[in-house]
Structure 1
Amino acid sequence: MSFIMLPANAFATEDMTVLAEKVTHFIDEWHDDAAHARLQYFDKIAKDGIYIGTDKTERWTRDEFKVWAKLFFERPSAWAFKSFNRHISMSEDRKIIWFDEQLQTQMGICQATGVIAQTAKGFEIRHYQLSRTVPNELTDYLAAGVKKLDEKNAGQVQKK
């Protein structure tokens, strides 16, 4: 009986590997859509999906994000993020996938986390959060600069 279970476990591992490769392709294609200003970029985000950008005011639903990014997508390239270090995990039933990645961007190296749902229609991004990396040695300097800017802007209405 254990001889029969061994190949079944091997297939389960292989299936997970194949799924991880499909997820990798999906995320890479999503980043490539932005790099080439293809509006399919937004189709890969769930209708009620959330995108959190690097600024504290940047939390959007897909449709809000699409409105905000419109000017960027009118150019040949909206932005170009190239992943160089990604980790993918998934729920036991493989319907929920989460990942973290490091990206080469025009802002320097960024980090991001995301949640993807596997639906009958395919993958859709449910949540994505992008953040800039800050060396620990610059934390105090950066925090002081942010505090100074916040004080300067105190009382002004913040826009998304």
Structure 2
Amino acid sequence: MKGKSILGLLLLLAVTIKAQNNEKENINKVLDDWHLAASNADFDSYFSKMTDDGVFIGTDATENWQNAAFKEFSKPYFDKGKAWSFTAVERNVYMNKAGDFAWFDELLDTQMKLCRGSGVMKKENGQWKIAHYVLSIAVPNENVAELIQIKKEKDSLMLLDLKKK
């Protein structure tokens, strides 16, 4: 009897791992298709992969785009056939136990060279959607002091404004 219980538990564990791996493959496909839609300037496909209340955080400190504002900002780029081109070269996907919430990080080959994306996805009506995405430019540690000097003046002014709020 004990052997059957252990065998049943192992079988359940194997099925759970397989299901989670399939979900991670689905998530990877959504993210790859999302990046491809931007490369192809396919506005509808791109935004269909985001939740209605999705957020896109860009590389500039002012870029905290709620979905509607991000659509409005992006539309002219997509209409010109020149959005952006990101290709994941590395990605890690993590999931909650319920299998309806995931988070990820990825290294991207972009027109800005190496960038990092990270985000949150949730399952809506059986489909994975991007709820929150953060894009950042990867800066080698040995270049941080140089970068600080480049952005020092603008950041100082912005910090003054933000601290007044």
**TM-score, scaled relative to structure 1:** 0.91
In the alignment, does 2:150 pair up with 1:145? yes
Instruction: Please give the secondary structure, in 1, of the residue aligned with 2:59.
Output: coil
CA distance in 1, matches of 2:116, 2:31: 14
Unmatched runs of 5 consecutive residues or more in structure 2: none
Q: What's the RMSD between the two structures over aligned residues?
A: 1.9
Q: Which consecutive unaligned segments of at least 5 residues does structure 1 have? A: none
Of 15, 18, 24, the residue aligned with 1:14 is 18
Partner residue of 1:95? 100
Contact 2:91 2:106 in 1 (8 A): yes
Structure showing greater radius of gyration is: 2
Structure 2 length normalisation: TM-score? Answer: 0.88
Q: Give distance in 2, aligned partners of 1:155 and 1:109.
A: 30
Tell me the amino acid that sits aligned with residue 127 of structure 2. Answer: G
- Residue 148 of structure 1 and its aligned partner are, at CA, apart by 2.9
Distance 1:149 1:20, change over 3 A: same
Deviation at 1:4, TM superposition (A): 1.4
Shift of 1:154: 9.4
Question: Any conservation in 2 of the 1:117–1:125 contact (CA below 8 Å)?
Answer: yes
Alpha-carbon distance in 1 for matches of 2:9, 2:154: 61
**1:86-144 deviation line (CA, Å, top 9, x unaligned):** 00000000110100000000000000111000121511111000000111111111111
| Alignment coverage as a number of residue pairs | 156
Distance 1:155 1:100 in 2: 31
Q: Which residue of 2 aligns with 1:126?
A: 131
Q: Does the Cα contact within 8 Å between 1:34 and 1:41 map onto a contact in 2?
A: yes
Secondary structure class of the residue paired with 2:54: strand
Shift of 1:8: 1.2
Change in Cα spacing, 1:145 to 1:9, as seen in structure 2 (3 Å) is same
Alignment of 1:1-160 (within 5 A): 1-39=5-43, 40-150=45-155
Determine which structure has the larger helix proportion and give its number.
2
Q: CA deviation at 1:150?
A: 4.4
